[in-house]
A and B are shown apart, each in its own frame.
Chain A
Amino acid sequence: MSEKRNADSLGRREFLQLLMGTSAGLLLNPATAFWRTRGGKETGLKVLVLGFDGMDPILVKKLLEENKLPNFKRLAASGSFLPLRSSIPPQSPVAWANFITGTNPGGHAIFDFVHRDPKTYLPTFSASESLPSKHTLRLGNLTIPLTGGEIRNLRRGKAFWQILEDHNIPATVFKIPSNYPPVETKQRTFSGMGTPDLKGYYGLFNYYTNEYKTVTEEYGGGGRVHDVYLIGNQLEARIPGPNNPFKKGNPETYVDFKVFVDPVNPVAKIVYQDQEFILREKEWSGWKKIRFEFIPSQSVSGICLFYLKEVRPKFKLYVSPINVDPASPALPLSTPESYSQELARKFGPFFTKGLPADTAALENEILDEKEFLYQDELVYQESMAILEEELKNFRSGLLFYYFSNTDQRQHMFFRLLDPGHPAYDEKLAREFGQVIENTYQQMDKALQLALEKADRYTAIVVMSDHGFCPFRRGFNLNTWLLQNGYHRLLPGTRPEEVSLFLRTDWSRTKAYGVGLNALYLNLQGRESQGIVKPEEKEALLKELAYKLEQITDPLTGEKVILKAFISQEVYSGAYVSSAPDIILGFNRNYRISWNSPLGMFPRELIENNNQKWSGDHMAAPGLIPGILFSNLKVKAEHPALEDVTAGILSLFGLRIPPEITGKPIF
């Protein structure tokens, strides 16, 4: 019997019998009933979950109707296809945390990509924090850390694979977002979105050129441009690495490299450390190792890609963000640590940065569309190779496997599906207008691989965390608060010159916006200079929510915010008090502006988004649900992310812990 038939041949009744057997067996005696516990680690039932970030049900439906996703179609026909309710707000770290913990942001404390410190009002990254070593020894110019620093995962609540572990059910969880550093477990897990590059950034490329070029932001825009000078046919430059924790002032480390340009042909030789390789113009290097030395006995290893974009008339060399080397991880990438090394042994170096596609390089026109896609195709090929291996080894328990390409390519190419987008380009649309469709078809290939490897005892779940919509116009929340008297600046301040609220008069400010969907009150007893009395809070929130929902865009006549959610009304759990006070659910085509999230006050209230980053998912969750496919019938009419978690636990016959708010879907 073919493997394909195996995947399809599990009838509903048979499967239910299997599940009932599982459930009853567990209740009676997990060691002797249906669960076979060879080494305490073998289950009869297997659950395979594929996570395609940002896959949109409207686009999927269209492609299903056009018969372009045959494996999705087959899966839907054997079980279910439904929209999957996303989180409030539908941002990936929040949404995947809902799935991981089976609850809502009030229960897992991830409310946005960006949180704020109520003492300083400054933005902080929501998912993890780095704490430097507390104890150091100063020796001349050296500062020797006596104890290690710490990186903390800020997500709360128990991950579903930890619950499975409690019941001795094995799990492999590959690159699920919102799990950096990976939480403590004996399961095999590999961190995903939220994993930084070796410098601790979420991606910092380097670009070496003798052409005048500036990146939109000097740093932080995702890259650094280095002016280089060809003297004779040779140039020298350096690749910046992590800051040196051993030296006073933590200076940046670097690796010097040399480039020898062929005097006739468009070819160059790159030399550094023990590496020496030749690239033709328009050629990528493949992964190269690079080592940054702190002191003679201490160094860290990274991996990067070189791309020789042009030799003449101008020299242009791109170096990707330095990813943490999975063979010798300087940051915590996996549990157990050996899992990362095991994958590196089998596959060599691979992308470890959480969001691997270099969207900043495309945005800043360091890479063009074709070059960006080439690099993201490497991400896809690596993902497929590792998926194949994991499927081969998948004999028991649960396998979760994640793909980032859907999300990253939709962010960058949505403009080419949307002639109404300010950054729509007809010529580019002709060439790249199919990218999103092609990407969805690539996910269909991944599903095919899974269906072929799945046996009749495998429950298959295919899901995304949210859908997508165009990002045509950006809303400046802080400008609105300022214009409406809820935010005050110090006298003499030019609002458009402010960032990080550095000129805010907190003694007269009632509200402020930080992050991508979040509004906070300047609350007495919570914010360091809070003025809103607790008894005034409820009325002020209702007033703000009402007014925000009335805002219309003078250009289009459309509402900007479809729903302003008051967090205490929509969240439950132990961390509701840490939540932003209002979560903005934008209308289709709208999003927070580029500058408002960092405490800025641009002049225009609503502005065009002219950037290549043109699709997004900060809308009201009802507008952009994710997808849910399964070879089982889904009982729930309107399932949510957290319901899938409960469903998975129930498939294994486990009692749903009280902190999980989701309801089983099967």
Chain B
Amino acid sequence: MGKAKIKIEKELYQKIEKIAELAGYSSPEEFIIHLLEKEVAKFEGADSEEEIIKRLKGLGYIS
């Protein structure tokens, strides 16, 4: 899978580095990817993982 680079301000990166370490992420990159994935999921409509589970459980067949 290909990778793309993005640029962010150094000052912001330093903050991210600190928070990522405090939050137990293995790298700032992992932290950023996690945050972005969460945000992207919000825009992908109702079919996020959590939403799928909530919807399916309402059927009664799964708990």
Contacts and interface: CB of A to CB of B under 8 A. Distances in A.
Interface of A: 113-114, 122-125, 129-132, 149, 196-197, 200-204, 216-217, 219-222, 243, 249-250, 355, 359-360, 363, 411, 500, 516, 594-595, 597-598, 611, 613, 616
Given A125-B56, A221-B57, A130 B47 contact: yes
Interface string B28-63: 000000000000001111110100111111111111
Query: On chain B, which size bracket covers the interface?
Result: 10 to 19
B55 A202 contact: yes
A577 B46 CA distance: 27
Interface of B: 42-47, 49, 52-63
B54 A123 contact: no
Given A130-B47, A149-B45, A500-B49, A114 B63 contact: no
B47 A220 contact: no
B58 A204 contact: yes
A360 B62 contact: no
B26 to A, nearest CB: 14
B56 A122 contact: no
13 contacts: A113-B56, A123-B52, A124-B47, A132-B44, A197-B58, A203-B58, A216-B63, A249-B42, A595-B62, A595-B63, A597-B62, A598-B56, A616-B61
Interface of A is mostly: loop
Contact of B58 (A114, A124, A220): A220
A201 B42 contact: no
A220 B49 CA distance: 12
Nearest to A362: B60
Given A132-B44, A594-B63, A598-B62, A222 B49 contact: no
Contacts of B52: 122-125
A250 B41 CA distance: 11
A355 B56 contact: no
Nearest to A93: B59
Contact of B42 (A196, A250, A598): A250
A197 B54 CA distance: 13
A243 B50 CA distance: 14
Contacts of A613: 60-61
Contact of B46 (A130, A221, A598): A130
Contacts of A359: 60
B42 to A, nearest CB: 6
A113 B59 CA distance: 9
Nearest to B43: A132
Given A125-B55, A598-B53, A132 B61 contact: no
Nearest to B39: A249
Contacts of B46: 130, 132, 200, 243
B41 to A, nearest CB: 11
A594 B60 contact: no
A217 B56 CA distance: 12
Given A200-B55, A598-B53, A113 B61 contact: yes
Contacts of B59: 113, 202, 355
Contact of A196 (B43, B44, B53, B55): B55
Contacts of A216: 63
Most chain-A CB neighbours within 10 Å: which of B42, B58, B61, B62? B58
A219 B54 contact: yes
A465 B31 CA distance: 50
Nearest to A194: B59
A597 B57 contact: no
Contacts of B61: 113, 516, 597, 613, 616
Contacts of A500: 49, 53
B45 A132 contact: yes
A217 B57 contact: yes
Nearest to A353: B58
A54 to B, nearest CB: 13
Nearest to B42: A249
Contacts of A597: 61-62
B55 A594 contact: no
Nearest to A126: B56
A217 B45 contact: no
A220 B54 contact: yes
A151 to B, nearest CB: 10
A653 B60 CA distance: 41
A123 B60 CA distance: 16
A468 B61 CA distance: 14
Contacts of A204: 54, 58
A500 B63 CA distance: 13
A355 B60 contact: yes
Contacts of B56: 113-114, 123, 125, 202, 220, 598
Residue of A113, A220, A359 with most partner-chain B CB within 10 A: A220
Contacts of A197: 58
A43 B59 CA distance: 39
Contacts of B54: 201, 204, 219-220
Across the A-B interface, give the 7 residue pairs with the lowest CB-CB distance, nearest first: A202-B58, A132-B45, A220-B54, A220-B57, A594-B63, A203-B58, A359-B60
Contacts of A594: 62-63
B63 A221 contact: yes
A130 B58 CA distance: 17
A200 B51 CA distance: 10
Given A131-B45, A200-B46, A360 B55 contact: no
Given A204-B54, A611-B63, 19 more contacts: A114-B56, A123-B53, A125-B55, A130-B45, A132-B43, A197-B58, A200-B55, A201-B55, A201-B58, A203-B60, A220-B56, A221-B57, A222-B57, A222-B58, A359-B60, A360-B58, A363-B63, A500-B53, A616-B61
B53 A220 contact: yes
A122 B52 CA distance: 9
B1 to A, nearest CB: 10
A135 B58 CA distance: 30
Interface core residue of B45, B47, B49, B55 (most chain A CB under 10 Å): B55
Nearest to A91: B61
B11 to A, nearest CB: 25
Contacts of A201: 54-55, 58
A54 B44 CA distance: 36
Contacts of A598: 53, 56, 62
A66 to B, nearest CB: 30
